[in-house]
Structure 1
């Protein structure tokens, strides 16, 4: 998700399950360690080749089965829909006597993504945005209802938009909840604040290597590369951020906008994380980028925490495994179901002989995929369902996997912006009491502008590189 299939009705991704019954706490701790073991075994397999991908897949499924009861209504429908379609394909494979082949695919398909999902959650332990004390905005007046005043004005709006984007790029949904909670603690979150958080966070999915959207793109578009896709996504994200800020700053309530007081030095760790991944990708090209992100996500927070305090650092790391990791149940089950869906569709396409009439996948087709995914997202169909269903059928005619990967990133980001049912907006509804359906009314015009930017970049990319 967070992006996207995030914890829509709870604070489980960022808070301990303090009031759960003892059995619930024990089950949560067990699932946390199962997922941590899945991430470690995924890394071991990537580094040595000795651990089959089905091992971390099985560990993730064990955790997923224990966490299924936590799913909300919409997420449960999405997961069951994907599992049903995937199971139909696996039944066809069983009829053909090849269930073991496609079943192994279903078990292994999402294990690298899930390992990355687990790992990036640890980044919030060391990359939490710091708030400046007693800051003021460009108007000079402050919010006196809180011990630490919130800066006000259009400058505060821009800083909140960009801060949410940058920290969201590093620590995903945790940034949204941390910044949102700080704003909400002074006064109930206002529409302008909610829109700034929604747009700033969603646009990070266009380029951030730490967003699961990038993992999905690299998985569904074999042969695609991180750097060209990140640069392509940035070429959309930067003008989209300017457009978002300009439109919000023109609103009559913008001079009184209460923003998040971010200190510039808080950007150091997110910047180091991005540079580490980029450098590691160049030095170790044989190691998959998702595995590299997983290694950084698990190891860097542990090293920094132990450096600060050996005892306290180890305790915080363990608490995160047992309390925060199980809170990723929405994303976990969505990606487990996506793995079954991909394997099932692969079997259905193979045995039925279904073929798309497309002879070529270019910018026009990529723009169509982005538009179709956005329309589906408005009606509650998660972008991962749309792109997982179509990517396998598109691959035979894809000559530039980066173009397909870029369209997947755009589908994810645009889908989150316009969908009232996205995990981001449902989570903000549950956390801050803002009706998720209001986000469509607030964002649909911006969504049209974002789609136009996506199309411009897709056609520009095709003209320059394809």
Structure 2
């Protein structure tokens, strides 16, 4: 292992402090939102020269565009800009990723081992990977990408089919999972939605995604040497246990916290408790090693998420400043409006915008009545599911790029056919749902 420099060690400490500050914010003892973002951005600044060139250029462009749009909104359209808070975008998600990294401290480091269970290859392996990521991801969200991806990476560098199975398995969970980040967004924007209708249409669409992924990748690639995620009980023990704990906290212990918030503090806590049985000195040594070695190595993931958050803030601020609050895009929200909105959001994702931007902007310029809330929610969830799979700057693809080095644009290219087929199926579903609810 390459020796870390004092600069990198300091950055690792700052990242750890950012995680601690985020966890403290959950307690309500003190407001630490600004502190979290400042600590993480300072760590990125210290690690900037170590970030791979491709990621560094992309992060720099995102930051520059975000700042430019904030300046235009403020000085051209006279919009109010909270400058001290401008670095907060995606800091919450970045802190979660830091927390998830502590899962590597659960279990002793004994070198590379074969994953337990049958090492299945071929289409069956792809299907198992999709199923594992999808159903664990409905609860654990983005952290599932890391947990399953790291397990697959034990057999060697990930291949394109494995990347696509990870990507689509998680993205498709957005169509129906009540715990997914997308559901929290659309519920806030369309509070009178009926979840039963969303699940009735969204779950079958997700299952079609799995079948389509298995069939398409089997035709496009030689999968004979492509390993899938083992679904043996020992392989599922850790993620399944974490999923159970997340549900316990979500429903009973800390129902006021989001799933992302619970994951942020729960995984480091489990890792800490797991190691304490070996003694405090052993525990501190492992945390120290993780802080100075693993956390600085997350520079790619953290920088991309933070810079994408700054872009999102700049764009949303500029759009609000330009469009205002009185203009309405549609007089009503029915099948044709839903289809047009879905296509627009997915196309914006192809251009590099996260679907949350399109969904949020759309909500601000439409007026919803009755069953239109449910239709709008379904449109938002499906555009999120398709858009995050194909969008080069989606959270899923940023995670894959930052952690494993796969280009977001290469992911986009390999997902175009998949996105086109899923879009056609979604448009048909929107038409049928519109007939039932509006």
TM-score, structure 1 as length reference = 0.69
Distance, in Å, in 2 between the alignment partners of 1:43 and 1:225 is 28
- Which stretch shows the higher mean deviation, 221-230 or 200-209? 221-230
**Alignment partner of 1:28 is 2:11:** yes
**For the Cα contact (< 8 Å) 1:103–1:343, is it kept in 2?**
no
Give 1:39 deviation, angstroms.
1.0
User: For residues 280 and 159 of structure 1, do their structure 2 counterparts lie closer, same or farther at Cα, with a shift above 3 Å needed?
Assistant: same
Give 1:360 deviation, angstroms.
3.8
Per chain length, whose mean CA-contact separation is higher, i.e. which structure has more relative contact order (CA < 8 Å, sep 6+)? Answer: 1
**Alignment partner of 1:269 is 2:253:** no
Give 1:383 deviation, angstroms.
1.6
Give 1:43 deviation, angstroms.
1.0
- Which stretch shows the higher mean deviation, 313-322 or 203-212? 203-212
Q: Which residue of 1 aligns with 2:128?
A: 159
Give the match's secondary structure for 2:154.
helix
Q: Which residue of 2 aligns with 1:294?
A: 264
From 382, 389, 394, give the equivalent of 1:410. Answer: 382
**For the Cα contact (< 8 Å) 1:39–1:115, is it kept in 2?**
yes
**For the Cα contact (< 8 Å) 1:151–1:261, is it kept in 2?**
yes
Gaps of 5+ in 1: 1-17, 136-149
Q: Deviations over 1:318-377 (max 9, x none)?
A: 544454445122113322443454445445555xx6624223445654443432232233
From 253, 276, 280, give the equivalent of 1:306. Answer: 276
**For the Cα contact (< 8 Å) 2:91–2:306, is it kept in 1?**
no
Give 1:411 deviation, angstroms.
3.3
Give 1:32 deviation, angstroms.
0.9
Report 1:52-67 matches (<5 A): 53-63=33-43, 65-66=45-46
Distance, in Å, in 2 between the alignment partners of 1:391 and 1:117 is 29
Q: CA RMSD in A?
A: 4.6
Report 1:24-423 matches (<5 A): 24-45=7-28, 50-51=30-31, 53-63=33-43, 65-66=45-46, 70=51, 71-91=55-75, 95=78, 99=81, 102-103=82-83, 106=86, 112-123=92-103, 125-126=105-106, 131-133=114-116, 135=118, 150-166=119-135, 170=140, 171-175=143-147, 177-184=149-156, 191-204=160-173, 206=175, 217=185, 221=189, 223=191, 231=199, 234-249=203-218, 253-254=222-223, 257-283=226-252, 284-307=254-277, 310-326=280-296, 327=298, 328-350=302-324, 355-361=327-333, 364-379=336-351, 381-383=352-354, 386-387=357-358, 390-391=361-362, 393-394=364-365, 397=368, 407-419=379-391
**For the Cα contact (< 8 Å) 1:118–1:325, is it kept in 2?**
yes
Distance, in Å, in 2 between the alignment partners of 1:225 and 1:292 is 25
Q: Deviations over 1:209-260 (max 9, x none)?
A: 8876567x36973859998799575443222112222333456845665434
User: For residues 211 and 122 of structure 1, do their structure 2 counterparts lie closer, same or farther at Cα, with a shift above 3 Å needed?
Assistant: farther
User: For residues 339 and 203 of structure 1, do their structure 2 counterparts lie closer, same or farther at Cα, with a shift above 3 Å needed?
Assistant: same
Distance, in Å, in 2 between the alignment partners of 1:309 and 1:362 is 62
Tell me the matched-pair count: 421
Distance, in Å, in 2 between the alignment partners of 1:289 and 1:460 is 31
Give 1:195 deviation, angstroms.
3.8
Give 1:303 deviation, angstroms.
2.9
Gaps of 5+ in 2: none
**For the Cα contact (< 8 Å) 2:350–2:387, is it kept in 1?**
yes
